[in-house]
């Protein structure tokens, strides 16, 4: 929101935190470039602050979206279908909240409907919305499952995420080829080992990794 004098007023983020202006964000990038040891005024870096700010708008666009809104448009004419619905291999790109390094992976989502189902693209939208925020994989896994449970009220929800963390492969211990696997099981997926095993079989993960 702009003031009449041409300066930028601080808007509020969805979390209620004062949001710096675009100009302030770009100046912060220039500061980091200088701190890294380069000259932000040289030709190759002249437009970098603008590009980084634009990239942040894309990478972190999930803060401006409500994932549960995607789940509210449901279908009830499903002829009593109440078997497992699974969407697997949902590729996502996120960033870790500790180093701003990329997290690249895939999510597998399943639920046991009661009297309504949601379009499968909406499940992917929920994953995408949470991924486009600064994340911890464990938290993201639970957020996806809890959103589906809260809105659809199914008999159970299961979410498994497999991802590679660049904060581990490009810095620190420098261990490429390592993936992290997290899961959240709610309702029947937590209570019933057979239901859980069926889901894990569908997505191709050994059930022994998640039993208990």
**Of residues 98, 138, 209, 211, which has the active-site annotation?**
98
Catalytic residue list contains 174: no
**From 97, 138, 209, 211, active-site residue:** 97
Catalytic site residue from 65, 68, 99, 162:
99
Catalytic residue among 26, 95, 96, 108: 96
Pick the catalytic residue from 26, 108, 135, 165.
165
- Of 93, 162, 167, 198, which residue is the catalytic one? 167
74: Cα separation from own chain's centroid: 22
Beta strand pairing status for 85-96 and 134-135?
A: parallel
Question: Active-site residue 209, yes or no?
Answer: no
> For the chain, what is the HEC assignment?
CECCCCCECCEECCCCCEECCHHHHHHHHHHHHHHHCCCCCCHHHCCHHHHHHHHHHHHCHHHHCCHHHHHCCEECCCCCCCCCEEEEEEEEEEEECCCCCEEEEEEEEEEECCCCEECHHHHHHHHHHHHCCEECHHHHHHHHHHHHHHHHCCCEEEEEEEEEEHHHHCCCCCCCCCCEEEEEEEEHHHHCHHHHHHHHHHHCCCHHHCCC
Please confirm, yes or no, whether 99 is among the known catalytic residues.
yes
Q: Is 97 a catalytic residue?
A: yes
Q: With beta carbons less than 8 A apart as the criterion, state whether 164 and 125 touch.
A: no
Is 167 one of the annotated active-site residues of the chain?
yes
Q: Which residues are catalytic?
A: 96-99, 137, 165, 167
């Amino acid at each position: 929101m702009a003031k009449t004098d041409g300066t930028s007023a601080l808007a509020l983020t969805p979390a209620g935190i004062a949001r710096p202006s675009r100009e302030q964000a770009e100046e912060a990038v220039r500061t980091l470039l200088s701190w890294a040891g380069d000259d932000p005024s040289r030709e190759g870096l002249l437009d970098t602050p603008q590009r980084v700010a634009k990239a942040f708008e894309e990478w972190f666009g999930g803060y401006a979206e409500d994932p549960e809104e995607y789940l509210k448009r449901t279908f009830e004419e499903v002829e009593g279908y109440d078997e497992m619905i699974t969407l697997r291999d949902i590729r996502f790109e996120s960033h870790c909240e500790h180093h701003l390094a990329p997290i690249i992976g895939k999510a597998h989502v399943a639920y046991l409907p009661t009297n309504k189902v949601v379009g499968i693209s909406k499940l992917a939208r929920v994953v995408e919305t949470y991924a486009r925020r600064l994340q911890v994989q464990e938290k993201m896994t639970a957020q996806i499952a809890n959103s589906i449970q809260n809105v659809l009220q199914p008999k159970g929800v299961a979410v498994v995420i497999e991802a590679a963390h660049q904060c581990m492969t490009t810095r620190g211990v420098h261990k490429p080829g390592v993936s992290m696997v997290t899961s959240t099981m709610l309702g029947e997926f937590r209570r019933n080992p057979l239901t859980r095993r069926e889901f894990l079989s569908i997505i191709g993960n050994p059930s022994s990794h998640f039993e208990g």
